[in-house]
């Protein structure tokens, strides 16, 4: 009887049997041309995953000089697209005038052990954080406090990107009705989808203990979210792919 009860609880969990473990991958850049580079492929490399380009200077010091996004895997190699690393836009971190070149280190799945979490209610939050024990989830109150300060009841991609940068997180987890995803926090490309159970009730804009996230009359882009699932599916963009 006890075993049956345990199995029933497992089957009722929001993401029963789901796993996510994208280990950090270190590769040398083989070549680079016109903003595209090539590295040796690995099972740990997934299309749409991202990372950074690390350059070693003559004095032995190292610095991140660009962001790298995996665009293709073919014939034992993976192609990466280079982008500006957002954190380097801060005044304290001037953008280095160095382009990626052969011999630089590509670190993929960068900060993929830390994630923002967007879920519709407290119960699902508890289930997700207890299920994915290998992921450090940034408490939604941190994002909620930011949105409350900015009078933003409808968080944008840029809002989440800013929170990821400030929290040193590479992922965002979003739970929807009957499905859930881990996505890259920079591109919002979905890395893995899970089937889940239906949602019983919703807290808007998402579960947080920060109450009363509202807008003010002069913010024209501050409309509240009416439909949680539609809003976050639209934010993800490529969920149907």
Quick: pLDDT tens for 197-229. Answer: 999 999 999 999 999 999 887 766 678 999 999
pLDDT at 88: 47
Q: For residues 120 and 213, state if they share a domain.
A: yes
Would 15 be classed as within a structural domain? no
What's the confidence (pLDDT) of residue 87? 62
How distant is the alpha carbon of residue 129 from its chain centre?
15
- Looking at the structure, tell me whether residues 232 and 138 fall in a common domain: yes
> Last residue of a domain, which of 63, 81, 108?
108
| Same-domain pairing of 61 and 160 | no
Domain around 173: 112-236
Contact 41, 25 (CB under 8 A): no
Residues 119-137 pLDDT 10s: 999 999 999 999 999 999 9
Residues 229, 119 share a domain: yes
Kindly state whether residues 140 and 229 are assigned to the same domain. Answer: yes
Asked whether residue 69 falls in the same domain as residue 127, the answer is no
168 and 229, same domain (yes or no): yes
Q: 100 and 189 share a domain?
A: no
- Does residue 189 lie in a domain region? yes
Q: Same domain, yes or no, for 219 and 138?
A: yes
Residue that finishes a domain, picked among 45, 79, 108:
108
Residue 146 lies inside a defined structural domain of this protein: yes
Q: Is the pLDDT of residue 11 over 60?
A: no
Does residue 20 lie within any of the structural domains?
no
pLDDT at position 216 is: 84
Q: How many domains does the chain have?
A: 2
4 has a pLDDT exceeding 50:
no
What is the model's pTM?
A: 0.87
Say whether both 119 and 104 belong to one domain.
no
pLDDT given at position 197: 92
Same structural domain, 119 and 214: yes
> Are 104 and 183 part of one and the same domain?
no
Asked if residue 4 is part of any domain, the answer here is no
pLDDT at position 95 over 70: no
pLDDT digits (tens, 9 = 90+) for 49-87: 999 999 999 999 999 999 999 999 999 999 999 999 876
Q: In the listed set 63, 86, 108, which residue is the last one of a domain according to the structure? A: 108
* Cα end-to-end span (Å), the chain: 42
């Amino acid at each position: 009887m006890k075993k049956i009860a345990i199995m029933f609880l497992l089957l009722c969990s929001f993401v029963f049997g789901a796993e996510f473990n994208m280990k950090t991958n270190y590769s040398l850049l083989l070549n680079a041309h016109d903003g595209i580079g090539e590295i040796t492929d690995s099972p740990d490399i997934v299309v749409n995953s991202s990372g950074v380009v690390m350059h070693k200077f003559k004095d032995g010091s190292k610095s991140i000089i660009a962001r790298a996004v995996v665009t293709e895997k073919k014939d034992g190699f993976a192609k990466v697209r280079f982008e500006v690393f957002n954190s380097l836009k801060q005044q304290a971190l001037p953008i280095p005038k160095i382009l990626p070149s052969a011999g630089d280190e590509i670190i993929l799945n960068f900060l993929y052990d830390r994630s923002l979490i967007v879920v519709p209610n407290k119960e699902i939050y508890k289930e997700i954080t207890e299920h994915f024990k290998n992921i450090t989830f940034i408490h939604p109150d941190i994002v909620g406090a930011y949105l409350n300060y900015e009078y933003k009841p409808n968080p944008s991609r840029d809002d989440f990107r800013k929170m990821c940068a400030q929290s040193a997180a590479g992922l965002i987890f979003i739970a929807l009705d009957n499905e859930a995803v881990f996505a890259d926090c920079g591109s919002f490309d979905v890395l893995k989808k899970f089937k889940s159970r239906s949602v019983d009730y919703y807290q808007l804009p998402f579960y947080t203990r920060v109450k009363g996230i509202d807008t003010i009359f002069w913010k024209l882009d501050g409309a509240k979210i009416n439909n949680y699932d539609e809003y976050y599916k639209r934010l993800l963009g490529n969920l149907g792919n």
